[in-house]
Amino acid sequence: MNHDIPATGHHEHEEHHPEHHPEFHIQIDRVHYTVTKRHMTGEQLRHVPPTPIGPDRDLFEVVPGGTDKKIGNDEVVEIRDGKRFFTAPAQINPGSH
């Protein structure tokens, strides 16, 4: 046994900041993203994908077992791990074909 090997601690890299940057894994249109905010507006959520979601699409929150909820740009959404969103074509001219 070699007792001359210095003990190398890894403590300098193990600093934990519990509430510093929480990570939430969400999906938008079935694509997985990681965000670090506990509350985000519809506008902020639209800028999560690399190509922001344009005004020609509406953003919805998936409500399991309920009616999916349309998210307005100024609406604040509580972000939780596993939350899912999807987009759909905006109804700019309802009823016109």
Kindly tell me the burial class for residue 59, based on how many C-beta atoms sit within 10 Å of its own C-beta (0-12, 13-18, 19 or more): buried
Cβ contacts of 36 within 8 Å, gap of 6 or more: 21, 22, 23, 24
Is pLDDT above 50 for 70? yes
Write down the pLDDT at residue 22: 87
Task: Quote the mean pLDDT of the chain.
Answer: 85
Domains of the chain, residue spans: 16-89
Whether 24 and 34 have beta carbons less than 8 Å apart is answered as yes
CATH 2.40.240 fits 16-89, yes or no: yes
Query: Span 49-64, mean pLDDT?
Result: 97
Write down the pLDDT at residue 10: 47
Query: Span 34-63, mean pLDDT?
Result: 97
Q: What is the pLDDT of residues 1-47, one digit of tens each?
A: 555 555 554 444 445 545 567 899 999 999 999 999 999 999 999 99
Residue 68 — very low, low, confident or very high, per pLDDT cuts 50/70/90?
very high
Whether 40 and 77 have beta carbons less than 8 Å apart is answered as yes
Name the token pair of 2.
């070699």
**CA–CA separation, 90 and 72 (whole Å):** 12
**CA–CA separation, 77 and 41 (whole Å):** 6
